[in-house]
Each structure stands twice: as C-alpha cells, then as structure tokens.
Amino acid sequence: MNKTDINEKDLIRALQPLVMGNLSQRVIIRIPKSIEIEPHHEFSINKLYTSKLSCVMIYSTTTEEENRLEYQKTKDKVEENKNNQIDTIAALIHIMKARKKLTHNTLIMEVIGKLKCRFMPSPMLILNRIEYLIQKEYLSRTPEKINTYIYVA
C-alpha cells in the first residue's frame, strides 16, 4: 500500500470488490486471507480468473461508516421534506383563515410568496397539501366554481 501513494482508505475501498467472493470470481488474491484488508497484506493477480464476458462488472462496496452517513443524509432530507409540508399546510390555513375565499391561482401565489423566504414550494406540493386539507375538511371547493376554495374549519 505504501508503494502506490494512494490514500489508504481509497485504496482499501478500490481493492475490496476485487478480492471478495468465490475464488473463481476474485480478480486479485490477498495474502493472508482475512475479512479485513490490512496495510501489511500482499496482493497478486488471480491467474485462475476467467470470464466468458468481454466486459466484467465489478461492483464497489461501501463501508459501514459510509452507510451511516448516507442513512443520516436521507433521514435529514426526509425530515426537511416533512417540515416543508407542515410549513405549506400552516401557510395555507393561515392565508385561508384570513381571506376566507380564494381562487386556486391566487392561493398558490400567496403560499409561494409566504414561504419563499424558507424554501421554494412547488405548485404540485401546494396542490397536494390543498387536497389533503380538503380531505380533512379544513377547506372545500365552492359549488359554483371548482377552482375557488372556502375556509371551513
């Protein structure tokens, strides 16, 4: 590992998929055979390795630390999306409570105007939250105009 001048962590990540699997699937053989790759291990080409394919796919592996970081990023993103949805619902209710009756386009523009300092809500997100509030009977559509909403609760 010292001879390559490659960062040890990156080198281990690159070598891992090459030394894993059955003996016939290993492109590189390591000595001594162990689960973890250590700096003192020696590596050599597996002369018994053959493949009928002209192009061989070797999938990279991830460490447990990378999995934890990826999980945390996903969890943070989901939490952010939940907060955005809650903020959108709160803005919709606040606007409709004050105005009582609004057309669809006016409501969309007011919600975007209210939330643009925190995040830029998509019209699709706002529409989904409007439908949610109609289901929960906080809002309803007017019978005469389908694109006009009335605050109910």
* CA 87 to the chain's CA centroid: 20
* 68: in domain: no
* 74: in domain: no
Give the C-alpha separation, 91 to 147, whole Å. 19
* 64: in domain: no
Number of domains in the chain: 2
Beta bridge partners of 88: none
Give the three-class secondary structure for 142.
coil
* 107: in domain: yes
pLDDT of residue 60: 67
* 14: in domain: yes
Domain that holds residue 38: 2-45
pLDDT of residue 142: 92
* 66: in domain: no
The answer on 94 and 140 residing in a single domain is yes
Q: Is the pLDDT of residue 23 over 70?
A: no
Residue 29 DSSP code = E
The answer on 36 and 88 residing in a single domain is no
* 10: in domain: yes
The residue ranking higher by pLDDT, 84 or 14, is: 84
pTM over 0.75: no
What would the two tokens of residue 53 be?
């394919």
The 10s digit of each residue's pLDDT in 43-75 is 888 777 777 777 777 766 666 777 788 888 898
